[in-house]
Amino acid sequence: MLLSIASCSAQDEAIEEITWNYDNGILTIGAGTMPDYGMTMNLVTTAPWGKHFRSIHTVVIERGVTTIGRNAFFGCEAIDSVSIANSVTKIGINAFSLCNNLKSVVLPYGVTIIDTCAFNDCGLVSITLPSSIKSIGDGALSCYDLTTVTNLNSVPLSLTTESDIFGVVDISTCTLQVPKQSVAAYQRAEVWKEFNIVGIEVEVEELRVESGALRVFPNPATGSCSIGMPDEFLYESVLTLSVYDASGKLVRQTILNNNGETPQLKMGLEAKGMYMVVLSNGKKEYRGKVVFN
């Protein structure tokens, strides 16, 4: 699908430091911000580990990495196993395109965005989507061999008939596994209803993230406010701060590199009304409401 790949390609962008190590087929990516990369004339990522594209078979993305950059593993044809920490919130454009030996991926809770062509034309037979997914780009799951999609979201992500997320997949013969109590909802939802839908039991910790009360002050506020850090998050290195308006729409999401200081939420003087603020480490979240005058 070179036409599809070409339409999603991009040049190198700003490069930031990230730690990585390659040893005997295993690529480990540790602390740092993963930048976006380009691709070579041979359709291989320009990431520094790209020189090992024929021999990387296992990718381990450790906690502390928040995004998987554009084209990060483009054309790494030998990859057959990927482990992603739950600090990752976004998988970038073309991140795993042309990873021909990658047959199965389980995305952790915390991933909210699968960008355009993220897994385009790779070898996926099955993929598990966490309940945290909020957006999936066109061509993201366009894989000829995809036969099973496990979607742990109890509420179907809103798609339209114009959505081209699955591209070349024959969804009429593809199995969609969803929480048992959500089968009827998926049978009514556009695009999802075209799959062969099967209900499954879902672990409680995936379906319902444990939550607590979050202290937001001052409240009411004008333009900005402070977030009271829960005691159990004091030593978490990476946290996600999300803000939802009164209708439940996500209006802002920020990755916090916890440095021991009190987090600040700056919304601007034009942000009037009530908002829900959610602070999460991927497995537990704290929620609080704030009114901006």
Identify the band that residue 138 occupies on the pLDDT scale cut at 50, 70 and 90: very high
Name beta bridge partners: 222. Answer: 224
The predicted structure's pLDDT at residue 188:
92
Reported as a single tens digit per residue, the pLDDT across 53-107 is 999 999 999 878 889 999 999 999 999 989 888 888 899 999 999 999 999 998 9
Look up residue 63 and give its two tokens.
């906690």
Integer angstrom CA distances of residue 241 from 4, 8, 57, 89, 263: 34, 29, 34, 11, 9
Identify the band that residue 32 occupies on the pLDDT scale cut at 50, 70 and 90: confident
Query: Domain residues of the chain, as ranges?
Result: 2-205, 209-292
Query: Does residue 208 have a pLDDT over 50?
Result: no
Reported as a single tens digit per residue, the pLDDT across 110-121 is 899 999 999 999
In whole angstroms, give the CA distance from residue 21 to residue 35: 16
Query: Does residue 261 have a pLDDT over 90?
Result: no
Q: Which residue has the higher pLDDT, 220 or 117?
A: 117
The predicted structure's pLDDT at residue 17:
67
The predicted structure's pLDDT at residue 210:
52
Query: Does residue 154 have a pLDDT over 80?
Result: yes
Indicate the average pLDDT of the chain.
85
Could you give the strand order of the β-sheet that contains 113-114, starting from the edge strand earlier in sequence? 67-68, 90-91, 113-114, 135-136
Cβ partners under 8 Å of residue 178, min gap 6: 150, 151, 152, 153, 154, 156, 186, 197, 198, 199, 200
Query: Does residue 31 have a pLDDT over 60?
Result: yes
Residue with tokens 């937001």: 216
Q: Which residue has the higher pLDDT, 228 or 10?
A: 228
- Which CATH fold would you assign to the domain 2-205? 3.80.10
Q: Which residue has the higher pLDDT, 17 or 231?
A: 231
**Kind plus residue range of the DSSP H or E element containing 290:** strand 284-292
- The percent of residues in the chain predicted with pLDDT above 90, rounded, is 46
Across 56-60, 168-172, 263-267, least confident range? 263-267
CATH code given to domain 209-292: 2.60.40.3080
